[in-house]
Amino acid sequence: MRSPARWYAIATILAVVLTLVYYYHYTSYLVEPPSGRTFEGLVLGNLGFAAMVGALLYSVRRRFLSRAMNAIHVDPDSRRKLKESERQALEQLQNLQRQVMQNAALRISAVRRQAQRILRQTGMKRYLYAQVSTAPGGRGARLAIGRREWGGRLQTWYYWHLMLGILSILLILTHAGFRFGNLVAVLALICLIGVVVTGIWGYIIYQLVPPALTKVEERVEKTPEELRDELQEVDQELGTIIKEKSQTFCEIYQQEAAIPGVSLEPTWRWLWAPAEIARDTTRPDRLRLIVKEIPAPEQEDFRKMVRLLFQKEKLEVSLYPQLRYDYLLKVWLSLHIPLTAGLMIFSLIHIVSILHY
């Protein structure tokens, strides 16, 4: 992953600092460790919960793709007027930008006032930003213009999600003083551990699977949808061929169609299944012997069936690794998300019960 080293550095430093603080304060001085009842425990618990909620906000941001917030829900005529106002505002702001670049003596406050005036007069305060700062080198001002974004880049949210997730488990464990409380608290903790473990699993999957999947896609050169369409056509042709054939013919077909014997429907077994399936190299010899058992009028169709079976096998062998890798990229979410839901529910019950009692 192209994650800046600073994220790892910040996370490591925070973890080390927390551990040192905890060790120094509670262990070396033999002071009573925190629990939900102590002030420190409450503070750590609140921080831990805040970290969990912060981590959860990533999925809110991801779901409500930024445009949902700053989309212009207007009719075409109003939209046209807004676009015209935007054009005017941008023109004036760009003129101001040019002046700022040419005149280092302009004061930041004056530029800021003028930029805000332009935005107010054109009615673009909600849609555009005009950020004034000190120019590099400390001389004069710098004016940055653009459309308002909602939420920032998803990658930034993702890294915060990872860090807050790991931080939350540290905080909650220290909040409880590495002791178990009542049933609800234990369930919440189990869910939290499950969320973090599945999250780490997902992170590792995101590191390992894309390069492997890229190699498979380079080799196969067809998308899974195209392969599935071809497979469907082959199955239809096979269905036509085996109609009204002798029992021997149909039995052989049933036997051969079951190879390579891997279902192309996602299943938990794919988690430990091999990455690729091998072709059956004994099939040509086997079928050469079998063809003698086929009645003479059906020999021609048998040969067609054999060609189609080879084609089917080739398609399945090509399709399987792509499907499996796609599945691996997504399967961890089927645990991570329900556990998150469970964590929030049990945490809220735990908090309410603490406050109430």
Partner 1 sequence: MPFTESAGEHRPVFYHPKGEAPQLVTLSVPEKLDYFTRLPLFENILEALFEKRPVVSADGKKQIRDLSVRDALVEHAEFYEVPANTAIFQEGSFGEHLFIILKGTVRTSTHVALDNERKASVRLEDLKEGAFFGEMSALSMNAHLLTAETVTSTFLLLVPQFIVQELATLQEPPLPPLPRFPDFRGLIMQEYVRRAVQTLIRRIPMLRFTSDSDIARLLEKVELKTFEAGDIVFEEGDAADDLYVIHQGFIKISKRDESKQRILSYLSEGDCFGETGVLADAPRSASATAMSRTELLVVPGPEFQLLVNANPRAIQESRGVANLRRLDADMAQDVTFIGARLQFQVEVMPNLDVLAIDENLCVRCDNCVKACAAAHDDGISRLIRKGTIFQEMLLPTACRFCQDPVCLLCKSGGIKRDKDGDIYFTDSCIGCSGCAQRCPYGNIIMVDTEELEHLTRPTLADQIFRFAATKRGEEVPAEQRPRLKKVPVKCDLDKGHLFPACVNNCPTQAIRRYRADELDVIIAGQRNKKS
Interacting residues with partner 1 (CB under 8 A): 1-2, 62-69, 71, 73, 75-76, 86, 90, 146-147, 149, 153-155, 157-158, 206, 209-211, 213-214, 217-219, 221, 223, 326, 329
Asked if 288 and 302 count as a contact pair (C-beta separation under 8 A), the reply is: no
Amino acid at the residue 171: L
Question: How near is the Cβ of 120 to partner 1 at its closest, in Å?
Answer: 19
Measured from the CB atom, the residue of 147 and 303 that comes closer to partner 1 is 147
Measured from the CB atom, the residue of 137 and 211 that comes closer to partner 1 is 211
Question: How near is the Cβ of 308 to partner 1 at its closest, in Å?
Answer: 20
Of 130, 127, 125, which is closest to residue 94 (Cα–Cα)? 130
> Which CA distances in Å does 53 have to 47, 91, 207, 258, 349?
10, 42, 25, 49, 15
Question: How near is the Cβ of 313 to partner 1 at its closest, in Å?
Answer: 16
**By CB neighbour count within 10 A (0-12 exposed, 13-18 middle, 19+ buried), where does 235 fall?**
middle
Measured from the CB atom, the residue of 217 and 230 that comes closer to partner 1 is 217
Question: How near is the Cβ of 149 to partner 1 at its closest, in Å?
Answer: 6
Strand duo 128-134 + 141-147: pairing: antiparallel
Question: How near is the Cβ of 71 to partner 1 at its closest, in Å?
Answer: 5
Largest CA-CA distance found in the chain, in angstroms, rounded: 98
Measured from the CB atom, the residue of 156 and 240 that comes closer to partner 1 is 156
Under 8 Å CB-to-CB from 241, ≥6 apart: which residues?
Answer: 301, 304, 305, 308
Question: How near is the Cβ of 35 to partner 1 at its closest, in Å?
Answer: 36
Measured from the CB atom, the residue of 157 and 249 that comes closer to partner 1 is 157
Distance CA 56, CA 218 (A): 36
Distance CA 276, CA 197 (A): 27
